[in-house]
Amino acid sequence: MRKLNLLAGMALAGLVLLGLTATADKTSANFTATSTNPSNTFGSATLSMSNDKPNANDLINITNLVPGDTASRTVVVTNSGNAPFTYTAAVSATANTLLWSDTTNGLQVTVKRGATVLYTGALKNMTLAASGTIAAGATDTLTYDFSFPSSAGNTFQSLTQDFTITYTATQLAGSAK
């Protein structure tokens, strides 16, 4: 019986050895590789504009205005950012004298881009539709022809009217990059 147990133990050991040998060439080793996309970035554009008359009274400052007076001034709008844009313009005032509120005898303006008339009428109502595209670093010149109608009467004496023109840039629509 002892011989049988010994024989059975040897047979079992042989089977285990045979099993280990059979699975030794079937390891779980795999080849691997990696690849990366390093240092990717997005940088947003800068929308910035300026004009050559940024201070109070730079555009116009006239005293002793009489009916029939005219004045012509230019403003150069600059795209000082790095993205193209279009821009609009609108006028506003804090005071409200007859020079402003009387749309017939009060201050009048014609705004031109080159020979193209963009607006003509009462200064109070001036708005400019969107310009064409202004590329980064490019400029656009507007000419303002102001007038005080000769039909203005005595009620217009000794008045002072302030106003502000605000230019508003809008980026162009985004695109596939």
Looking at residue 107, what is its pLDDT? 98
Examine residue 24 and state whether it is found in any structural domain, yes or no. Answer: no
CATH number at residue 161: 2.60.40
- The answer to whether position 16 is within a domain reads no
The verdict on residue 25 lying in a domain is no
Q: What confidence tens digit (pLDDT) does each residue in 138-158 have?
A: 999 999 999 999 999 999 999
- Domain range enclosing 115: 49-171
- Whether 22 is in a domain gets the answer no
pLDDT above 70 covers a percentage of the chain that reads 85
**Domains contained in the chain, number:** 1
Q: Residue range 74-94: average pLDDT?
A: 97
Q: What was the pLDDT predicted at 7?
A: 56
Residue 149 within any structural domain of the chain: yes
The pLDDT value recorded for residue 28 is: 80
Q: What's the pLDDT band for 10 if we cut at 50, 70, 90?
A: low
Res 23: pLDDT: 54
DSSP string, 44-110: -----EEES--STTSS----S--TT-EEEEEEEEEE-SSS-EEEEEEEE-S---HHHH-TTTS-EEE
pLDDT at res. 177: 86
14 belongs to a structural domain: no
